[in-house]
Amino acid sequence: MSQLALAVEAGVTPRHVSFVESGRATPSREMVLLLAGTLDVPLRERNQMLLAAGYAPIYRETGISEPAMSQVRAALERVLRHHEPFPAVVMDRHWNLMLTNAAAASMFTWLLGNARSTSPPNVLRLMFDPDGLRPYVANWEQVGEALIQRVHREAIGGVPDAETAALLRQVLGLPGIPDRWRTPDFTATPTPVVPVQFRKGHLGVSYFSMVTTVGTPLDVTAQEIRLESFFPADEATERHRWA
């Protein structure tokens, strides 16, 4: 966005925006928030902008289990429960698993066994790891390409995120990753949706997903939550029920 467009959108003078950007003027706390809101900067980065300008952060990062997040957690659990008998998961900004419904838990147990980890499972690592979910994704080339493009967008599009960029480097360093996936401008297959086809033994299921976010967040955690619901991509999957 140009200085002029930003100034018009924010209702301030282009001269003042220019002075703020060049450091010739010190913005007030209200001006920092005004410009951040106009630019649709994520809440986590708005806190960093406030710190850089010499002000205290105002947006909290509340744990999902804390009392202040009880209504948000209850809403997430309600959606997870009502999505049965199909899988649904809740992830944070960096693809770490926060909550699942019973169907998702059963599906992951079917695919991975009862292995336990001391840290929250990371869905992206599991999908790309040759010792994780990857061997059970029948259409791995298509799914991996679409997923890595999504991570490229999150890592370099909008506000840079060092942790997502590090996660991207880690998964791209795993064995068997095509070289073309290492650039964010490769051409993905133009399809309406990309289903993920899990197959193990004689059982195969196929799902596409939809992602839900909190509509009006004023908390960093609430803004970064991603609820991913999986829907059947064929009739056989529609009939399948996870025990």
The predicted-structure confidence for 195-226, as pLDDT tens digits, reads as follows 999 999 999 999 999 999 999 899 999 999 99
Contact between residue 35 and residue 22 where contact means Cβ atoms under 8 Å apart: no
Can you give the residue range of the structural domain that contains 211?
A: 67-239
pLDDT tens track for 105-162: 999 999 998 765 656 789 999 999 998 999 999 999 889 888 888 887 765 555 567 7
Whether residues 99 and 150 share a domain: the answer is yes
Lowest mean pLDDT among 39-43, 182-186, 227-231: 182-186
Confidence of residue 34 (pLDDT cuts 50, 70, 90): very high
pLDDT of residue 162: 79
Give the pLDDT score at 157: 52
Both 72 and 168 in one domain: the answer is yes
Arithmetic mean of pLDDT over the chain: 89
Calculate mean pLDDT across residues 169-198.
79
Binned at pLDDT 50, 70 and 90, residue 165 comes out as confident
Considering the domain architecture, whether residues 128 and 171 belong to the same structural domain is answered as yes
In a domain, 172, yes or no: yes
pLDDT at 63 over 70: yes
The pLDDT assigned to 191 comes to 62
- Residue carrying structure tokens 């399948």: 240
Say if 62 falls within a structural domain: no
Cβ partners under 8 Å of residue 226, min gap 6: 90, 91, 92, 93, 211, 212, 213
Listed in sequence order, the DSSP H helices in 184-225 are 220-224
Confidence bin at 177 (pLDDT 50/70/90) = confident
Which of 8-22, 154-168, 222-236 is least confident? Answer: 154-168
**CA–CA gap between residue 237 and residue 234 (Å, rounded):** 6
47 and 110: one domain? no
Residue 221's pLDDT is what?
93
Q: Where are the beta strands (DSSP E) in the chain?
A: 88-91, 97-100, 196-200, 203-212, 226-232
For residues 12 and 108, membership in a common domain is answered with no
Is 161 a member of any domain? yes
C-alpha to C-alpha distance for 104 and 82, rounded to whole angstroms: 13
Domain identity same for 188 and 147: yes
Is 96 found in the same domain as 210? yes
Residue 187's pLDDT band, with cuts at 50, 70 and 90, is low
Determine the pLDDT at residue 108.
94
pLDDT score at 159: 59
Residue 61 lies in a domain: no
206 within some domain: yes
Identify whether residues 163 and 73 lie together within a single domain.
Answer: yes
Do residues 37 and 157 both lie within one domain?
A: no
Largest CA distance in the chain: 68
Check residue 149 and give its pLDDT: 82
What's the domain count of the chain? 2
With a cut of 60, say whether residue 35 has pLDDT above it.
yes
Residue 60 falls within a domain, yes or no?
no
If asked whether residues 104 and 192 sit together in one domain, one would say yes
Residues 12 and 73 in one domain: no
